[in-house]
Amino acid sequence: MFVERSACFVGGDDEHAGEVGDPATCLIIPNALFYDMYVFSTPDTTRTKSTHYMTLVIEEPYLDILRFDDQPIQLDENIPWKYVFGMMAWKVGSVKVTSGTHSLQGIRLFYFGCYLYGYNQGYGYMHPAGFMASSIDVDTCEVTNADMVRGDIIDNDCDGRVDEEYLDGWDNDHDGYIDEDLAKPNRVNGGWQAWRAWTCTQNCKSTDMERVRRCVNPRPVNFGSNCLGKENETKSSNCWVRKRCPTTCPKMSYGAECAHTCSNCVNDCNKFNGSCLKRCIPGYQDLEEGCTTPCSSGWYGDQCKLSCEEKCGGECADPVEGDCPIRYWLILMIVVTVLGVVGGGYYYWRWRQEYRGSGSSMFTYA
């Protein structure tokens, strides 16, 4: 248990000198129960005029890859950070936060501690932003390595630490065992695909052009962060001023003056950007790109769901029908067989010729 009063907690001679607030009590979390991400809210300050901070306990190299609301963390140079006594490389420091909901997580998985505190003239508070709710009592712990699931928030090897290993073939906690109590899979942060081409906006009223991009390269998984920045942009142009609005384009055509076709779509496409409305013709994928992308390697046919492996035992030569590639060893076998048959036939013919010749002489001789 820990007693905190803002001015006392950080020392009377630093940046909080003279600030006041009621004392607050706070649980101190064992670092074995630190978590890899926190989502928290701070009270509205508009009426109370309170100030809020988050205090981080983190290994120094991870500060660079920690993200606060998906942005690199901004340290206040007026707030000094200190090394944690007895914990090499661990540092502790505070960052001022606004009221509202916030998130903290690294661009890859690691564990760190976070406490929240705040105060105004009349009150003060402090509490952990979160922690793993798991037993680290090694005396009552039961070894469960055989049933371990990555990131199960259980101390499977009963060493007093929870999910302390990354799946990397290294002994991360230097206890002589490798990958014995695994953390959850590393998160994958989202990445933008390239901007798509500028197109006229789809209401046929604005003369602006717009372009879009999607956060699919890669998609964020395992709580990875979303892409930063805008998903669409506009720029002024002279769309539709003298051109025909594509809403009236005939079937299977799109774009300004209906000049483009979407022949890889089944049953028409979006009249403005050519994205397919329902599905792709066999052998192609990606509705939003107008189904211009052939099936990925190893797949063919309708919706690219048929397996080349099952049909050909490997890759397909054609993404539409799934034709199997010509096997050179098969050609060689056929050639050898044909040569064998032709050669054998020839020698048989020669033998017959010679046999007849010799038979004739024998007959004559007899």
Contact 314, 308 (CB under 8 A): yes
36 near Ca ion, judged by CB under 5 A = no
| Stretch of 104-112, 172-180, 248-256, 341-349 lying at the interface with Ca ion (CB under 5 A) | 172-180
- Is 171 near Ca ion (CB under 5 A)? yes
Q: Which helix (H) or strand (E) holds 361?
A: helix 328-365
Residue numbers 127-156 binding Ca ion by CB under 5 A: 152, 154-156
The interface region with Ca ion, picked from 60-68, 70-78, 98-106, 169-177 by CB under 5 A, is 169-177
Least distance CB 136 / Ca ion (angstroms): 8
Residue nearer to Ca ion on the CB measure, 22 or 152: 152
3-state secondary structure of 317: coil
**Shortest spacing between CB 335 and Ca ion, in angstroms:** 59
- Under rule CB under 5 A, residue 166 binds Ca ion: no
Shortest CB 174 distance to Ca ion, Å: 7
Contact between 181 and Ca ion (CB under 5 A)? yes
230: number of CA atoms within 13 Å, CB side? Answer: 7
Residue 284 has phi, psi (to 5 degrees) of -135, 160
Q: Name the burial class of residue 197, with classes exposed (0-12), middle (13-18) and buried (19+) by CB atoms within 10 angstroms of its CB.
A: exposed
Position with the least CB separation from Ca ion? 181
Q: How many CB atoms lie within 10 A of CB 285?
A: 20
Distance of CA 353 to the CA centre of its chain: 76
Work out how close the CB of 157 gets to Ca ion at its nearest, in angstroms, rounded to a whole number: 5
Shortest distance, CB of residue 173 to Ca ion, whole angstroms?
4
φ and ψ at 361, to 5 degrees? -70, -35
Question: Which C-beta is closer to Ca ion: that of 50 or that of 156?
Answer: 156
Cβ-based burial of 220 (10 A; exposed 0-12, middle 13-18, buried ≥19): middle
Is residue 177 a contact point for Ca ion (CB under 5 A)?
Answer: yes
CA-CA distance, 239 to 223, in Å (whole number)?
A: 40
Choosing from 173, 233, 286, 289, the residue that interacts with Ca ion (CB under 5 A) is 173
Instruction: Tell me, by CB under 5 A, how many residues bind Ca ion.
Output: 13
Query: Using alpha carbons only, how large is the chain's radius of gyration in Å?
Result: 36
Tokens at 76, concatenated: 């206040």
From 15-23, 179-187, 270-278, 284-292, give the range in contact with Ca ion by CB under 5 A: 179-187
Q: Does 4 engage in binding with Ca ion (CB under 5 A)?
A: no
Q: Which residues bind Ca ion (CB under 5 A)?
A: 152, 154-157, 159, 161, 163, 171, 173, 175, 177, 181
